[in-house]
Amino acid sequence: MSSYTQKKLKTATLVAKADDYLDTTTGGITPPIITSTTYARDDRYNPINEANLYTRDNNPSFVQAEHVLAELEQGEAALLFSSGMAAIACVFYTLGSGSHVVLPNSMYWGVYSWTRSYCDRADIRISYYDANDAESIAQAMEGAARTDLVWVETPTNPMMQVTDIARAVAIGHEAGATVVVDNTTPTPIFTQPLELGADLVVHSATKSLNGHSDVLIGALVTKETDERWDKIVAERHGAGALPGPFDAWLLLRGMRTLSLRVERAAKNAQKIAEFLQTHSQVEAVLYPGLKSHPGHKIAKEQMLGGFGSLMSFQVVGDRDAALQMAGRLNLIVSATSLGGVETLIEHRHSVEPPETNVPVNLLRLAVGIEHIDDLIDDLSQALR
């Protein structure tokens, strides 16, 4: 790292310069990909570099990305995982039998489905709260001897419900629970959960952090490197759910344009939401950037600078009407995922489990960075 950046860097500068990386050996300004799985020791069997023992513990390629992500989230440390679900699973693996967790009743179905299956096997009790109302967390805790974990996802995927993070933290901490926030959708550019008091932040870094739909990777960031974090570090080491060095390098490369991409995508999303809200063939638009959204006030307080690139809308009609509308799109691609440079649309009811509460006429729109006129033109012709 060069000597001129002794002061704290602004977010946009931090990511653009990869924490002001400079290779002191070659002068290279781009971090290299370190592919070695093991590292040499000297004649007394001491590590030549104490930071590098074996790739399952550390690799310079993902340590660099972890450092940048920790800085982005204002945390003490970060860990990369082989996927977002691997990161989430690691948190639950550190909970003991008999634990009690409180989850939102609206959330990404992959987490909802997996936690139900795992917690049943691990004898962990789940209670659910209304994602629109942080006060309902206290009600979900009633009857439990203790609550070990409170999970927050805001805005929720795909129903775009907004939870007051600061209030959720206050209620969770009063009960002695760890509060984890899934910050995948808003990204640290718009929301800083650790600054609002959360203990851990989780990311499907495959999405906006990478931003190019070309790597599967997850991350956890901690506010403090405490005993809880030590358990997570040990669990990751034991299970070995780590990314490869090229995956970590792709993530770091993607994060260098993070602020530009998510700011552009959020501006596009806001304009699209305003357009859809006035269209006769649209029944409802779910986007916290709209003043009509029930969670707009809270979102405005905790999402600084933008409301993210994800939204949902319900077309007039039934399941077939939604599928036909999506099928008429030319520029916007029907595909799963979000946070990439390209705009994607998905009929969520088709991919979620039978018990889903997602309406049959809902389409989830993951807005990219294309020109706004082209995106609105495509949506307009498909809705006619």
For this structure, is 56 an active site residue? yes
Cα distances (Å, whole numbers) of residue 302 to 62, 74, 200: 29, 15, 17
| Catalytically annotated residue among 182, 199, 247, 378 | 182
**Paired tokens of 105:** 């009743």
Q: CA-based angle 168:14:230, to the nearest 5?
A: 50
Task: Let me know: does 80 contact 254? Beta carbons within 8 Å.
Answer: no
Strand partners, 319: none
β 282-286/218-222 pair status: unpaired
Task: Let me know: does 81 contact 241? Beta carbons within 8 Å.
Answer: yes
| Catalytically annotated residue among 207, 223, 236, 348 | 207
Distance, in Å, from the CA atom of 102 to the CA atom of 85, rounded to the nearest integer, reads 18
Cα distances (Å, whole numbers) of residue 97 to 106, 123, 125, 175: 25, 5, 9, 18
Give residue 63's identity as a one-letter amino acid code: V
| Catalytically annotated residue among 17, 56, 125, 271 | 56
Strand partners, 220: 79, 202
| Catalytically annotated residue among 108, 112, 129, 287 | 108
Q: How many alpha carbons fall within 13 Å on the CB side of residue 189?
A: 28
Task: Let me know: does 185 contact 338? Beta carbons within 8 Å.
Answer: yes
**Would the CA dihedral through 190, 270, 322, 374 be positive or negative?**
negative
Distance, in Å, from the CA atom of 205 to the CA atom of 189, rounded to the nearest integer, reads 14
For this structure, is 207 an active site residue? yes
For this structure, is 384 an active site residue? no
User: In which order are the strands placed within the sheet that holds 282-286?
Assistant: 282-286, 310-315, 362-366, 344-346, 333-334
Cα distances (Å, whole numbers) of residue 16 to 68, 72, 114, 323: 10, 12, 35, 39
For this structure, is 108 an active site residue? yes
Question: Among all residues, which ones are annotated catalytic?
Answer: 56, 108, 182, 207
